[in-house]
């Protein structure tokens, strides 16, 4: 069965970098993605501005409010990915074929103690760390790897 007729789910993501140029990643609690790490991201509510959605997701998922972030850039275009066949029709109540993601780059102005994985109920991540940007594609679930490579390519010179 083909899901190509379905729309993409609107999504916003945030590449948070610290003063040393390292990128925040959290390890997913979701059993289907266990062992994989990702940057904060999530759906855009109807009528919500994409930048506001990215900042909201950052606050919800890791407890970092807009006062602790300097937004540096946004991807020139949204980046889309399709779910793998085994997830199509199951994720997001079967309403979407994948996601159309708007990514933002921001400098973390806070301290590590400001990061709170319990800010989201239930939590999305069970642990977090700062990594070298080049490590990102190897840590993400494979079907999102091309997205992370594109985000990294666009933001690399600004990190």
Torsion angles phi and psi, residue 158, rounded to 5: -100, -15
Q: Bridge-partner residues for 74, per DSSP?
A: 104
pTM: 0.92
* pLDDT tens-place string over residues 14-63: 999 999 999 999 998 876 666 789 999 999 999 999 999 999 999 999 99
Percentage of residues in the chain having pLDDT higher than 70: 96
DSSP 7-69: PEEEEEEEEEE-TTS-EEEEEE-SGGGTT-EE--EEEPPTT--HHHHHHHHHHHHH---GGGE
According to CATH, the topology of domain 8-158 is Nucleoside Triphosphate Pyrophosphohydrolase (3.90.79)
């Amino acid at each position: 069965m083909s899901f190509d007729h379905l729309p993409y789910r609107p999504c916003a993501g945030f590449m948070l970098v610290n003063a040393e140029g390292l990128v925040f990643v959290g390890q997913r609690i979701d059993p289907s993605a266990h062992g994989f790490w990702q940057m904060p991201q999530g759906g855009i509510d109807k009528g919500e501005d994409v930048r506001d959605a990215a900042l909201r997701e950052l606050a919800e998922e890791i407890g970092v409010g807009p006062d602790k972030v300097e937004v540096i850039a946004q991807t020139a275009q949204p980046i889309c990915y399709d779910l793998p066949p085994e997830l199509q029709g199951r994720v997001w109540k079967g309403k979407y074929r994948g996601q159309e993601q708007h990514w933002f780059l921001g400098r973390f102005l806070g301290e590590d103690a400001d990061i709170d994985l319990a800010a989201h109920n239930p939590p999305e991540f069970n642990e977090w760390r700062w990594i070298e940007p080049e490590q990102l594609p190897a840590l993400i679930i494979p079907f999102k790897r091309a997205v992370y490579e594109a985000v990294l390519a666009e933001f690399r010179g600004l990190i």
